[in-house]
Amino acid sequence: MLLNGKEVERDVIRHVGGAAVVALKDSQILLVRQHRAGSGEVMIEIPAGMIDPGETPEQTAMRELNEETGYVCDPLEKLCSFYPTPGYDSEKLHVYLGQNARAARNRLDPDENEEIHLFWMDFDKALEMVINGKSMMPKPSSAFF
C-alpha cells in the first residue's frame, strides 16, 4: 500500500537476511573477489552471506568470515543494519566490525558452489575506491559509511 492509501501489486523477493564483516588487521581490510551470477561480473566485497536457520546475525558473520576466508575476529562489534535493495527485496543486512583478524584454528569448509579469492588492501585505499566509485563492491560497501 502506498502512503496515499492506494493498493498496488509488487514482485518482492523474500530473503532470510544476511551478515557481513569488515575484518581488519593493522591498517588492512580483508576482501574477497568472486563471480556474481546476478551481475555476471567479478565483484570485490567484504565477507558476507545468508543467515542459516537458527543462527543470529553475529553467528552468521563469524561463520561466513571463516568459510570464505579462513580467518576469525573476536569480538565482533555491530556497525549497522540496513535494507540494501528495499524496492524489490526483503533482505536486511547486518554489518559487523572485526578487529585483529587472524587465521582460524578450525577452518570451516568453504561452500562447494563458490570460488572465492581473498586479499588484503590498505583500508584507506579501499575507502577511497568506494568514495570515488572505482570499486566493484556492492551493498556491503555501505559499511564504510
Is 115 tagged catalytic?
Answer: no
Catalytic pick from 9, 58, 112, 128? 112
For the range 128-131, what are the long-range contacts, defined as Cβ-Cβ under 8 Å and sequence gap of 24 or more? none
Q: Which three cell numbers stand for residue 9?
A: 501489486
Q: Is 82 exposed, middle or buried (0-12, 13-18, 19+ CB in 10 A)?
A: middle
Enclosing H/E stretch for 93: strand 93-98
Q: Is 37 exposed, middle or buried (0-12, 13-18, 19+ CB in 10 A)?
A: exposed
List active site positions.
112
